[in-house]
Structure 1
Amino acid sequence: MKKQVVISMLGTQLDQGFGSARWEHWRPTVALGMHEDFLLDRLDLLVDERRYAKLARGVSEDLAQVSPDTQVRRHDTYLPDPWDFEGVYATLHDFLRGYEFLPDEEDYYVHITTGTHVAQICWFLLTESRIFPGRLLQTSPPRKKDESVAGSYAIIDLDLSRYDRIAQRFQQQQLEDRNLLKSGIATRNAAFNRMIEQIEVVATRSKAPMLLMGPTGAGKSQLARRIFELKKLKHQLPGRFVEVNCATLRGDGAMSTLFGHTRGAYTGATSDRAGLLRSAHHGLLFLDEIGELGLDEQAMLLRALEEKRFLPVGGDKEVDSDFQLIAGTNRDLHDAVGAGRFREDLLARLNLWTYRLPGLAERREDIEPNLEFELERWSREQHQRVTFNREARRAFLDFATSTQARWNGNFRDLGASVMRMATLATAGRIQVDQVDDEIGRLQRQWRDVEPPSVLDDLLGGDVAQLDRFDRVQLEEVVRVCMRSTSLSQAGRELFAVSRQQRATTNDADRLRKYLARFGLDWEAMKAARTTSGNS
């Protein structure tokens, strides 16, 4: 049989005992040798010999009386501050690194009853991480007077793979957290679900800023609020959720709205104003459309993020605000940096956790569950149940998931569409004729608001003859050409990878031949770029 080896810290208070009366009291280290069903072969006792050598000798001698076959090895262990987590962990970690473990010959236990709470936590972490290759041993005093002075003991194995219920509960909690972030919608888009899985991990582990990118109506504001609700459930943010659309902040009022002002800071400032950053103290601040924020406000925001301090407008005394920031934008902030409209250092601060929310047209498999969600929400808010009949539901989904549906406004378009159909429903049922009317309304709406593309200007009515595949590819080629100063520059960007594999390259010629397939040439690109710039 393997030997039973226990590592324990001397109980500087609990192990005390004097005279013959000491045998009437429970002393955890001595009691280790009193259990008939736990035979202790060796005790490695960690002791501060400079302060507790006498106590350690007494405990060792008493243990020898109750368990003569137990070998006691004392290790001089000095802890400058037994309540300093970093120091205690480092000391115990170093002890274990120098310890000769023989797992084929010995079973190891660490006694967590003695020592400070900090030491107990450190032993737990060292065992859970397998730095200590054993199990936890917890001892307890007798509960009744007539019980043995040895008390009781329990062995705790931290191999979590054996605890299926714990693992399942942890997985269930993760699913519930992700479900919260998705508003309870059973989304099917694999890329979106993977993104939500990572956001759930980041949201619960990090207070760093997050940047949510995506088109208007993609759900940035709703996701930011759900992140706040998740962190609130985890007791990570005791403060408020504060939201502002930066596109609404203009002129002198922008600084005041964000950073507050003092009385008399400017005409009309009749009293102090806290500002949104202070309102979000210990909470979450969501700045939607952050790309619309002015450069001065960006500089102030960067300092507030880095130092948690800023000056209100007109103030001469800094104020504190410790908030978490989530920023939203439908712009390419890297392009904005290049154009001088956005600070590069602020983008670097925001760009640690960046997520792009796809538009509804990129998540067509998620239209059906979102349709059910919007209909359920309308029914709940209006206190009346409305459903589709089978044919109407099929007709709407056939259209909604087809390429005919542009979904320019994304989920806002879908929500408004459901609201209209539910309001006009007959006896709580949406019929086919209402779906047909709604499809026509959506098509007219998208046609009216969608500006003509560059391809429309270049090809006119011929655009309709292009396959969707060719149109998407050609739009990207034209976009690169429009921002390039020469055909060669555009070719180098478009063929950057394949040109490395060629012995000779003529990117301009490759691009010229591609454009010619659609009746386009470089002169047409230049003319379109000039017209666009003048407009």
Structure 2
Amino acid sequence: MKQLVVIGFLGSTLDAAKFGPSRWNKWRPSVGLTMHEDLRVDRFVLIHGSAHRRLAEYVTEDIAAVSPETTVEPQLIDFDDPWDFEEVYGKLLDFARGYHFDPDTEDYLIHITTGTHVAQICLFLLTEAHFLPGRLLQTQPRRGTADAAGIWNTIDLDLSRYDSIATRFAAESVAATSFLKSGIDTRNAAFNRMIDEIEQVAVRSRAPVLLMGPTGAGKSQLARRIYELKRLKHQVKGPFVEVNCATLKGDGAMSALFGHKRGAFTGATHDRPGLLRSADTGTLFLDEIGELGLDEQAMILRAIEDKRFLPVGADKEVVSDFQLIAGTNRDLGEAIAAGTFREDLYARLNLWTFTLPGLAERREDIEPNLDYELDRFVEREGDRVTFNKEARQRYLAFAIRPEARWSGNFRDLAASVTRMATFSPTGRIDVPTVDAEVARLKKLWATHDRADDGLASVLPPEAIEKLDPFDRVQLAHVVATCRESRSLSEAGRTLFSASRAVRTSTNDADRLRKYLARYELSWPDLRA
């Protein structure tokens, strides 16, 4: 049989009584609930403040007198303001997350009769969100009698009306090993060293920061944490303005970034400040900066260096003092060589450059990030979901194997956790749920791999399915080479360069044309 554990507040008024025989004629909630023959309490976690330490000892002695089998476990929690909802919720959340619960061997009852109304509501919310893995317990006096035991009953209430409060206040409260890591206890040594460097740069420099790395590696989240750290240090007071430069195309890019004056062009019916002006005294994050046009790059460079720029259609410059954080998944060195990125802008950005590794390069960090994503699910949905032991082990065993591609990096992991949590309405992710998710991820990555080789744009699906893996890899390389070449002859010379010296005939174009014909492809097909 499982042991029964009660968790509740000491009632500073209801539990108090004058010492003497008369106290046994008074209903005192914390003492009374241990006096019932049909409610055996094995352990009582009694929450109280420093000011009521003596009363807690007094109540503990009386519980021992009426229920020797009950062990009272004092839990000291002091509140500066017991009516401050955020403080009470935060400290109780800290207690819940730090307490060692063992639902397999213990049942829990959360006593909500004692404590302030704020404390009672917080216990409601924490129990509903599964931070406190138990049922609610209500006690009350028996009317018209001097029964010291009173009445008890468990409660199953619909607490949906508290969802918005639970979501609002279910924030991270565990002490973070690093502010920029959002409290995640990352284990990859190289990543941790890089984060330590970024923290030093963030608080000691206003120069631009360049974050490089694959899509989904966490550039956007890190940029926001850098801003929040600087704001915490009172180094910025303006907003965090984020824009994906890949969405800024054509004539609208200049207007979006630098603003425009009314009448500057057709449709400009009013002044527009632009993103750079909006970021004044704050931080501007230009994600995928490598997608900006050369003209926009030139104006960005001047805005960084001189803190001023000219809006579209204006005859007077405006001033904006912001710190720039840029992000990209492209190799900007190659972009400079190709003439699509300005070398002077890259030189200005390259003072503080940090490359974020993909999730596949940080497999030892998958486990702590798994817990982080479960916490994020609580913040969004208000429900606590956890793995059972076997399911967690199975998921992690798959996640760290080489076959787990994590091509979408942390976005893949976040989506995976969200799916499993959503399909676990009881609050526990089990083995069948993990197995279904592993199969889903394998299918997702296989589809991604097939789409990446470029054959889907030149061959129908049924033709691709008939290809052996060897032939597929070879054909994909040929197609990619053709698309990068200016002529069929140039592509042939590239593909057959090693054998040219030992062949009597060097008609590489004809050889390549015959190879493509085997798959019913032609040079125009690949260049279309």
Output the TM-score relative to the length of structure 1: 0.55
1:49-88 equivalence runs, <5 A: none
2:422 alignment counterpart: 423
The alpha carbon displacement at 1:418 in A equals 0.6
CA displacement at 1:404 relative to structure 2: 1.4
Alignment check: 8 A CA contact 1:261 1:272 kept: yes
CA distance in 2, matches of 1:422, 1:388: 9
Deviation at 1:488, TM superposition (A): 12
Alpha carbons of structure 1 residues 326 and 379: separation in structure 2 relative to 1, 3 Å: same
Alpha-carbon separation, structure 1, partners of 2:455 and 2:192 = 34
Aligned ranges 1:95-494 → 2 under 5 Å = 179-450=178-449, 451-453=451-453, 461-463=468-470
Structure 2 SS opposite 1:427 = coil
Are the structure 2 counterparts of residues 377 and 202 from structure 1 closer, same or farther at C-alpha, using a change threshold of 3 Å?
same
Instruction: Give the structure, 1 or 2, with the largest relative contact order (CA under 8 Å, sep 6 or more).
Output: 2
1:297-345 Cα offsets, whole Å, 9 max, x none, are 1111111111111100000000011111011111111111122211111
TM-superposed CA distance for 1:442, in Å, is 1.1
Distance 1:534 1:186, change over 3 A: same
Tell me the distance in 2 between the aligned counterparts of 1:531 and 1:334. 31
SS of the residue 2:178 aligns to: helix
Distance 1:357 1:438, change over 3 A: same
Give, in whole Å, the separation in 2 of the partners of 1:532 and 1:285: 43
* Distance in 2 of aligned mates of 1:178 and 1:208: 25
Question: Matched residue of 1:196: which SS?
Answer: helix
Deviation at 1:482, TM superposition (A): 10
Query: Cα RMSD (Å) of the superposition?
Result: 3.8
Match of 2:527 among 520, 530, 534: 534
Partner SS, residue 191 of structure 1: helix
> Does the C-alpha gap of structure 1 residues 283 and 384 become closer, same or farther in structure 2, counting only changes over 3 Å?
same
Residues 482 and 526 in structure 2, CA contact (< 8 A), matched pair in contact too = no
Letter in 2 for 1:317: K
The answer to whether the Cα contact below 8 Å between 1:178 and 1:196 also exists between their aligned partners in 2 is no
Provide the rounded CA distance (Å) in 2 between the counterparts of 1:380 and 1:488.
58
Q: Specify the SS of the correspondent of 2:408.
A: coil
Kept after mapping to 1: 8 A contact 2:176/2:183: no
User: In the aligned structure 2, how far is the partner of 1:453 from the partner of 1:381?
Assistant: 36
- TM-aligned CA distance change 1:318 to 1:426, over 3 Å: closer
Contact 1:388 1:431 in 2 (8 A): yes
**Could you say if the C-alpha distance between residues 316 and 285 of structure 1 is closer, same or farther in structure 2, counting changes exceeding 3 Å?**
same
* TM-superposed deviation, 1:453: 3.5
Q: 1:533 to 1:334 in 2, by over 3 A?
A: farther
Identity of aligned residues (%): 63
Query: Contact between 2:177 and 2:184, CA under 8 Å: does it hold in 1?
Result: no
* Contact residue 387 and residue 429 of structure 1 kept, 8 A: yes
> 1:381: Cα distance to partner?
2.5
What SS does the aligned partner of 1:261 have?
A: coil
Secondary structure, counterpart of 1:235 in structure 2: coil
Which segments of 5 or more consecutive residues in structure 2 lack a partner in the other structure?
1-174, 460-466, 503-510, 517-521
Deviation at 1:264, TM superposition (A): 0.7
The one-letter amino acid paired with 1:383 is G
Give 3-state SS (helix, strand or coil) of 1:306's partner. helix
Contact 2:176–2:184 (8 Å) recurs in 1:
no
> CA shift at 1:534, angstroms?
2.5
Q: Residues 486 and 309 (structure 1 numbering): CA distance in 2 closer, same or farther, change over 3 Å? A: same
Q: Secondary structure at the match of 2:286?
A: strand
Q: Which amino acid aligns with 2:429?
A: I
| Shift of residue 228, structure 1, vs aligned partner | 0.5
CA contact under 8 A between 2:210 and 2:326: conserved in structure 1? yes
Aligned partners of 2:329, 2:432: CA distance in 1, in Å? Answer: 36
What amino acid does structure 2 have at the position aligned with 1:534? R
Task: Name the CA shift for 1:370/1:410 in 2 (closer, same or farther; >3 Å).
Answer: same
Q: What's the CA shift string for 1:483-533, capped at 9, x where partnerless?
A: 89899999xxxxxxxxxxxxxxxx979xx9xxxxxxxxxx88x98998997
Contact 1:177–1:200 (Cα < 8 Å) also in 2: no
Structure 1 stretches of 4+ moved >4 Å: 454-457, 462-466, 478-490, 526-533
- CA–CA distance in structure 1, aligned partners of residues 196 and 455 of structure 2: 38
If the length of structure 2 is used for normalisation, what is the TM-score? 0.55
* Matching residue's letter, 2:399: A
Shift of 1:380: 3.0
Contact preservation (8 Å) 2:259, 2:271: yes
Give the distance between the partners of 2:471 and 2:440, measured in 1 at CA.
Answer: 21
Tell me if structure 2 keeps the 8 A contact 1:214–1:358.
yes
Name the CA shift for 1:185/1:262 in 2 (closer, same or farther; >3 Å): same
| 3-state secondary structure, aligned to 1:303 | helix
Letter matched to residue 320 of structure 1: V
Q: Distance in 1 between matches of 2:214 and 2:331?
A: 10
Task: Give the counterpart letter for 2:263 in structure 1.
Answer: G
Aligned-partner SS, 1:403? coil
**Deviation string for 1:279-313 (max 9, x for gaps)?**
11111100001111111111111111111111000
Counterpart amino acid of 1:220? K
Matched residue type, 2:527: N
1:195–1:355 Cα contact (<8 Å) kept:
yes
